[in-house]
Structure 1
């Protein structure tokens, strides 16, 4: 009798876990589609009496988000910017990994260190790993999806580099501590942020200013992003190789420190973009040849 009860209990728990995971996957894929997006950021509070608040940052665009790779425990979501009817720009990438124990923890000044979690710490959780336009890492965070009343929420706090909108303009802080909330609904999703801009000096953190961010993705007709699908079909082989080379570097679990700018003033993201364009122009079909060139380029920027 006791054995029967334990078997029944085990089956119920197994079904519950599988059901939760299925809902999680649906929520993650709920971030896919063609969207009109509004990005809004405003600094809200500073403990520094003499701090001068920066102007609000508001912009908008069209973005195509889709699953580019999928396995049982992983999904790769690609973001492409659609500009008018003729231009597409590779934007950013997010990898979702189920019960992932190997994370990258951002330190400061484009340096990341391995963060190894225990299995019990990530049970039922999904890691969101966010990557730059050139597939360089930005930040990772692990949390559980919550589902209620047709809405889906994932939230996490993690350290990150300065955002793209500020990293070439500001040097008064080193780390953006991000409180990310992703709300998925039937009409799209909202990426809500409560961010702390941190001055990091050794092991000491000092708050410079807080900001509120709202990235609102409103789903529109898929046909309005058709140009992005066509563009990615041509570009994908080259960027898959870029992703693969970065993946091999990160798989060593040794952390990472990058010089974003070379000694001659060139930028890593620009050099990778130019290299990919060169592959396309010269019809470089050999994937191994491409990977060697990509690896040699990235190695120039790595701090040993």
Structure 2
């Protein structure tokens, strides 16, 4: 009887492990469906405001369209990295813009959580806290941190989606126009669809002041659709990445060394009156030494 019990436990463990591996494979396949060429439509509108200022003006509704290439740059057992590139302008001679990057890390325990005003607090979770989960780490165009959060991919009723709420800096469409709040609390839903994928957002515009409770200034809806098209439409972006990937590999390597310090991170907004992306987009900063020096000059010790 004892021998039978041990055998039963071994069989159960085998079945559970097989199920976990199958689930992980489903997760990986869903994430990689966000790669390729997409016609993107960005939709954002402010839905509610809670300001006590009678003259408060909500942000204008923002609708923008473009062609985006999502390049798979890392495909490992526990990490998938996707670099986004915008392809804009004359289709015969398009202009390529290095856009955001998303890294997906399985059962990640190290986090940099945005705390407003160009600062990120380092946090470490236990393995049990993130069991079976994927962390999405989103980076700026210069590969500096933006926001991140951990959650479980869900595959049910023919749907595959991932949901998380986390603090983030103001989006580019806002920070050049708004200074009355300093944190976007992003409710992110990534869903794989029959046309490609959907980035569905329910965001809150937060005022954070040290020593006081956060204040919700307004709420916002974001609905961004990524409609899959033939990869050939993004040939220019794919070629651009082939020509520039070595430089950006060096940039990511330097940032990895910064993140691996596992300390709170604060960054300067400008050095020599220029933001980081302008330094790194310059051809003058293409070698390891120059890249390392520029990035380090923005890190506040």
Band the TM-score falls in, shorter-chain normalisation? over 0.9
In 1, are the aligned partners of 2:71 and 2:238 still within 8 Å (CA)?
no
Q: Secondary structure at the match of 1:159?
A: strand
In 1, are the aligned partners of 2:164 and 2:189 still within 8 Å (CA)?
yes
Aligned to 2:246: 237
Question: Which sections of structure 2, spanning at least 5 residues, go unmatched?
Answer: none
- How many Å apart are 1:279 and its aligned residue? 5.5
Distance in 2, matches of 1:165 and 1:243, equals 25
Aligned to 1:208: 217
Distance in 1, matches of 2:50 and 2:172, equals 24
Aligned to 1:228: 237
Aligned to 1:257: 266
| Pairing 1:69-88 to 2, within 5 Å after superposition | 69-83=74-88, 84-86=91-93, 87-88=95-96
Cα separation, partners in 2 of 1:45 and 1:90, compared to 1, 3 Å? same
Distance in 1, matches of 2:257 and 2:288, equals 11
In 2, are the aligned partners of 1:111 and 1:256 still within 8 Å (CA)?
yes
Aligned to 1:295: 292
Instruction: Please identify, of 89-98 and 161-170, the stretch whose mean Cα deviation from structure 2 is larger.
Output: 161-170
Question: Which sections of structure 1, spanning at least 5 residues, go unmatched?
Answer: 281-289
Distance in 2, matches of 1:11 and 1:205, equals 47
- Superposed CA deviations along residues 88-130 of structure 1, whole A, max 9, x for unmatched, are 1111101000000001111010100111111111000000000
Distance in 2, matches of 1:108 and 1:164, equals 15
Q: Secondary structure at the match of 1:166?
A: helix
Aligned to 1:35: 38
Aligned to 2:182: 174
Q: Secondary structure at the match of 1:201?
A: coil
Distance in 1, matches of 2:86 and 2:246, equals 19
Q: Secondary structure at the match of 1:48?
A: coil
- Superposed CA deviations along residues 263-289 of structure 1, whole A, max 9, x for unmatched, are x42111111111xx2356xxxxxxxxx
Between the two proteins, the alignment pairs up a number of residues equal to 292
Distance in 2, matches of 1:53 and 1:179, equals 19
Distance in 2, matches of 1:235 and 1:164, equals 24
- How many Å apart are 1:145 and its aligned residue? 0.2
- How many Å apart are 1:8 and its aligned residue? 1.0
Q: Secondary structure at the match of 1:278?
A: coil
